[in-house]
Structure 1
Amino acid sequence: MRLSFSFSVSAEATIKRDPLSFITEQHVKSALRKEKGDDAQLLVWSINNFTEKGDNTATVVTSVVVDYHLGSETHQTSYIIKLNPCIMSTLSVLFTTMIFEKEVNFYEEILPDLNHMLNNAGQESLRMPELFHSSLKENNELVFLNDLRRKGFAMVNKFKGQDETHVRLALKELSRLHASSILLQAKAPDTNLMERYPSLNKDWYNCTDEMKKMLHQVFSGKYDNAIEILKGCERHTVAAWVEKIRPNIVDLFQEQLTKIPPFEVICHGDFWNNNMLFR
């Protein structure tokens, strides 16, 4: 039961609109009130881009800085915003709609239930950002998350491996996500989590036949790179094996994602450096 999956779109797709144009003052006000309460008065806000090429693929990620008035004082906060990337091919629109629906559903419905199970067991809530606002308007999807950089968190260099200490921290938190989903399932054993949360049934491999074809094209390119690298390392036997399995790439992924007890848990689905912050 995966939460998300990122991929690079094909060169045929074209960007038709500016995703940053989706961010309106009303969106900012909604996020501000959710975080600070109805008495918070928006003063000014501005978009502050901070990502680099290659930092994200399935969405556009930016941030807004917000000055607001509360009580007799002026304060500042900021939000991380994930936006529809506006890759306006039919399949990309379908995929983008799916991942935003899944992410919003996770933050609004699944995460509170997971945290409730952990809290009842005497554990801290999962260390994930809070959703302050979202819009699932077709082709204008966006989510506002709290900016954990304001609490001293930062991404590690995506071109470097993590040391053992940080790997242990990441795997510990991942295991808490898995464990909390087991507790949640055990609370109502007669109702499968995928029935309780229908968005978990949606995934990149079970959308449409067209989606599968596109994913095969995307993955095939990655396999081509892997084959050349392996040949360069004189690993010709492994390169031949990769070449052999390439026609069945999507089927192999689907086979590996089949739910098999006792490992039937909610998984992160995109667990890589840029989706983890440390301090």
Structure 2
Amino acid sequence: MGDLSQFISRESLIQSLRSFTGRADVKLFDEFEVRRATKGAQGLTSIVLRVRVPYCLPEDGRKLWKNFIVKAFPQNPFQMNLVKKGGLFDKEGVFFKEVVPLLVKASGGKVDVPLPNCYRAMIDGRCDAIYLEDLAESGYMTPDRTSHTNDLDYEHCSLVMGALGRFHALTVATEQLLLPSKNWLDAFPIFSTDSLFYCHKEGESTPPLLPTAEASYETLLKMSRLMDGVPKKVEASGALRKVLENNWSTLCRLVKCAPQGCNVLSHGDCWLNNLLFRYEDGVPVEVKMIDLQIVRYCHPSIDILYFFSMCTSKEFRERNIDGLIHEYYKSLTKELNVLGYGAPPISLERLNQDMREIYRPFGVIINSFFRPNILLGEDFMPSERELNPTELEKLFNTNNATAIVNKFCRDPEFRTQMETIIREVVDWAFPQEAISDK
């Protein structure tokens, strides 16, 4: 990519140091170091850099060092088009520049905001960049890469549910206490259009993930033909294709603000790649959420189901979802009480009912859409190198169809995982057929 320092502004480094130290007289030395902070699938929609910055305070004079994570606008044409279509960078910039200060103010220092500190965010269309806390300095890290292809364990999941409950509580309290309009969408119209899941009209640009979704349908149909029982039957009749072809509009409908329901400002992309954990003696004790490019105002079920669908198997969810939902609701209730808000805007009973009766399709569809690629592991996207623009475009257009079907045919464990995903779709879409098959 050439000289990475081209993405770094000296003025922004100075402003970030001032924000970090609380000192206007902090001095920046010239020899800062820049390197890539992410590889492979991470950093797909932005250039993520780790910048090591030397500085000193005038009364001390000693050279000190501070790391910043800097997110810059991507440079290759395919990624630029993807980010512009979804407004991904603008949303994250607005979130950190304008929303996070409101969350911090509403917290009053009593509730931890489960996000990295932001020291500077520029979204002027010329030198867009976001300067963030490097959580690695405080010991935060991603779990072992095997967690991508296995269930994230209960301890990790419980921390995430607690963080989501805390985050949602902060957005509910902030909306009621600080926003004159009493509504996130009125205060920040940029969040009213979904970044990924929206239906386009004739003449409008295609949503960035629509080709990926359509490719995933074909992959599921190919695997269904190789299965026994109801999946093969409904594929042969054409009924499964009709269901899959409606999945996009279903996603687009479910992620919208619920007019008569409970809505929160949600993370939108809460899964393993966007979670950093801090450990003590090998046990996870804290979690922070990163990558806020898909923030949306919607029912809290969307964040919860997205996480479960991306990070756990059907078997794990059946064993643990009740306990984990309780962990989420306990955190939501506790933090709203600390913030002086009162009872949550939704009861635990209603949350469970909404998740199972209204929003269940979101989890089922997301699971069938993204999980096969995640379970591919290194066959999905290499962790130690960047894909070139041609490879990226092919990935979005084919959704790794060939790799998924080939592994389905040759790897018994992967086949079992895919069959479980497909049967979950069939059980949801054809409940009577599924019952008779059992």
Report the TM-score when normalising by structure 1: 0.80
Query: Which of 33, 46, 51 is the aligned partner of 1:59?
Result: 46
Query: How many angstroms does 1:174 deviate by?
Result: 0.6
Between stretches 261-270 and 210-219, larger displacement belongs to 210-219
Give how far 1:170 is off.
Answer: 0.6
| Distance across 2 between alignment mates of 1:61 and 1:164 | 30
SS of equivalent to 2:156: helix
The alpha carbon displacement at 1:56 in A equals: 2.9
Alpha-carbon displacement from aligned partner over 1:246-279 (angstroms, at most 9, x marks no partner): 3334322111112224321111001011111111
Asked whether 1:21 is paired with 2:21, we answer no
Q: Give runs of aligned pairs for residues 12-51 of structure 1, distance below 5 A.
A: 21-36=6-21, 37-43=23-29, 44-51=31-38
In 1, Cα distance between equivalents of 2:246 and 2:3: 36
Q: Which deviates more, 108-117 or 220-229?
A: 220-229
Which of 174, 178, 190 is 1:199 aligned to?
A: 190
Deviations 1:61-111, CA, capped at 9 Å, x for gaps: 121111112232211110111121124258435236x22221122122222
1:133 has 2:123 as partner: no
Report the secondary structure of 1:63's partner residue: strand
Aligned counterparts, 1:65-104, within 5 A: 65-70=52-57, 71-88=60-77, 91-92=81-82, 94-95=84-85, 98-104=87-93
- Write 1 or 2 for the structure with the bigger share of helix: 2
Greater alpha carbon shift after TM alignment, 199-208 vs 63-72:
199-208
Unmatched 5+ stretches in structure 2: 279-438
Q: How does 1:174-185 map to 2 (within 5 A)?
A: 174-185=164-175
Task: Give the alignment partner of residue 218 of structure 1, picking from 212, 219, 224.
Answer: 212
Q: Would the alpha carbon gap of residues 219 and 41 (structure 1) be closer, same or farther in structure 2, given more than 3 Å must change?
A: same
Higher alpha-carbon deviation: 41-50 or 109-118? 109-118
Deviation of 1:164 after TM superposition, in Å, equals 0.6
Aligned length: 261
Are 1:18 and 1:86, in contact at CA under 8 Å, matched by a contact in 2? no
Structure 1 or 2, whichever has the larger Rg, is: 2
Within 1, Cα distance between the matches of 2:165 and 2:85?
Answer: 27
In structure 1, give the amino acid aligned to 2:175: Q
Specify the alignment match of 2:272 in structure 1: 273
User: Percent identical across equivalent pairs?
Assistant: 22
* Cα pair distance change 1:247/1:24, threshold 3 Å: same
CA deviation vs aligned residue, 1:201-257 (integer Å, no higher than 9, x gap): 132245964443543212222333444455556576288365323333432211111
Superposed CA offset, 1:119-174 (max 9, x none): 3xx84231211111222242642211010100111111344132111110011111
For the residue of structure 1 that corresponds to 2:101, the secondary structure is helix
Gaps of 5+ in 1: 1-14
Q: Relative to structure 1, is the Cα distance of residues 125 and 213 closer, same or farther in structure 2, using a 3 angstrom cutoff?
A: closer
Instruction: Tell me the secondary structure at the aligned position of residue 33 of structure 2.
Output: strand
Q: Give the letter for the 1:108 counterpart.
A: K
> For the residues of structure 1 that align with 2:131 and 2:121, how far apart are their CA atoms?
6
Letter in 2 for 1:199: I
What is the one-letter code of the residue matched to 1:22?
A: F
CA–CA distance in structure 2, aligned partners of residues 20 and 226 of structure 1? 44
> 1:182 Cα deviation (Å)?
2.1
Higher relative contact order (Cα pairs below 8 Å, separated by 6+ residues): 1
1:169 to 159, 175, 179: 159
Q: 1:82 to 1:259 in 2, by over 3 A?
A: same
Helix, strand or coil: the match of 1:223? helix
Structure 2 counterpart of 1:10? none
Contact kept in structure 1, 2:18 and 2:26, CA below 8 Å: yes
**Distance of aligned partners of 1:155 and 1:141 in 2 relative to their CA distance in 1, 3 Å threshold:** same
Alignment of 1:253-272 (within 5 A): 253-260=251-258, 261-272=260-271
Report which stretch shifted further, 239-248 or 172-181.
239-248
My pick for the range that moved more, 164-173 or 122-131, is: 122-131
8 A contact 2:104–2:113 mirrored in 1: yes
Q: 1:277 to 1:229 in 2, by over 3 A?
A: farther
C-alpha distance in 1 between matches for 2:96 and 2:229: 44
Written as runs of structure 1 = structure 2, the 5 A alignment for 1:143-154 is 143-154=130-141
- Once the two structures are superposed, what CA deviation does each residue of 1:18-76 show, in whole Å capped at 9, x if it has no partner? 87632233332232222122222111201122322122322221211111122322111
